[in-house]
């Protein structure tokens, strides 16, 4: 599992200069008195990684290697062009209504306002079947509701695929009826995979509420006081696609787990 870290962003990256070293993804940056804290909530996609049992792992390779490119450019100039072959349900991904409904909005038709800079709330739960009572103490209207189960601790193990936490049909009805605008979970599936009806996907996507599955790092967020974003590539004809999900914390929030 990728462990969240905190990194201060060098001046060169704040000024838009290409960084000399890769970023860890979980970052803190300061501009004078203003402080911005970013928490990465996505799993890293790697070659050979299984996200969903029965679906193929991504293949990541060179289309044009640096070595092969050297013959195409001036001396000392080289480029890399990569290639990835994967199913859309890979890593941390977002489901659009088209994933469930043939006439639903696909990745290209989702408005940015439904995916980016949403006020968020984290609901921390235990057990497998998560019912509406878990959400009743919270104001979910107009918010991205992120369900923290702790199941991400089993990422890339056999345990991840079996006995995962999920939302009940009643929970999905509650979230729809109380105005949630996006629902995410750090588990294998937001539905009980033993139920072929997939009621949570049906209810939420039927109401135009996107779903983000296979999240991580939710223990790093406060219950409220952050903005959430999960924006996929704008692809026509797809109902699911990986996202770089992240939270932007308000200035007075800390990287601390906050219990109900």
What pLDDT score was predicted for residue 202? 98
pLDDT for the residue 61: 97
pLDDT of residue 253: 55
This prediction's pTM = 0.85
pLDDT of amino acid 252: 59
> Torsion-angle region of residue 3: left (phi > 0), alpha (psi -120 to 50) or beta?
beta
Quote the pLDDT of residue 250.
83
Name residue, tokens 């105005």. 179
Q: All domains of the chain, ordered by start, with CATH?
A: 93-249 (3.50.30.50)
Task: State the virtual CA torsion across 108, 23, 17, 252 in degrees, nearest 10.
Answer: 80
- For residue 173, the cross-strand partners are none
At 76, give phi and psi (nearest 5°).
85, 0
- Mean pLDDT by 10-residue block, N- to C-terminus, for the chain (260 residues)? 36 33 48 67 97 97 97 97 98 98 98 97 97 98 98 97 98 98 98 98 98 98 97 98 96 48
Torsion-angle region of residue 102: left (phi > 0), alpha (psi -120 to 50) or beta? alpha
Strand 182-185 versus strand 144-148 pairing type: parallel
The secondary element (H helix, E strand) that includes residue 37 is: strand 34-40
From the list 230, 231, 224, the residue with the least C-alpha distance to 249 is 224
Residue 60's pLDDT is what?
98
pLDDT, tens digit (0-9, with 9 covering 90-100), for 170-219:
999 999 999 999 999 999 999 999 999 999 999 999 999 999 999 999 99
Residue 127 corresponds to which tokens in the numbers above? 């057990």
């Amino acid at each position: 599992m990728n462990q969240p870290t905190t990194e201060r962003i060098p001046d060169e990256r704040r000024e838009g200069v290409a960084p000399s070293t890769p970023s860890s993804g979980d970052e803190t940056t300061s501009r004078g008195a203003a402080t911005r804290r970013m928490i990465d909530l996505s799993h890293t996609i790697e070659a050979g990684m299984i996200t969903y049992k029965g679906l193929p792992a991504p293949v990541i390779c060179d289309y044009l290697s640096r070595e092969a490119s050297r013959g195409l450019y001036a001396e000392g100039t080289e480029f890399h062009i990569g290639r990835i072959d994967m199913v859309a349900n890979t890593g941390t991904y977002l489901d659009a209504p088209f994933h469930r409904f043939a006439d639903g909005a696909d990745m290209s038709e989702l408005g940015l306002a439904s995916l980016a800079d949403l006020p968020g709330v984290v609901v921390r739960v235990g057990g497998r079947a998560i019912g509406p009572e878990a959400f009743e103490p919270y104001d979910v209207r107009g918010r991205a509701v992120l369900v923290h189960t702790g199941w991400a601790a089993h990422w890339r193990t056999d345990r991840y695929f079996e006995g995962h936490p999920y939302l009940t049909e009643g929970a999905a009805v509650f979230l729809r009826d109380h105005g949630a605008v996006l629902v995410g979970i750090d588990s294998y599936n937001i539905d009980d995979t033993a139920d072929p009806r997939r009621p949570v996907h049906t209810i939420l996507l039927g109401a135009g509420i996107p779903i983000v599955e296979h999240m991580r790092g939710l223990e790093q967020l406060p219950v409220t006081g952050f903005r959430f974003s999960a924006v996929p590539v704008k692809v026509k004809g797809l109902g699911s696609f990986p996202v770089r999900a992240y939270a932007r914390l308000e200035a007075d929030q800390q990287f601390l787990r906050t219990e109900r």
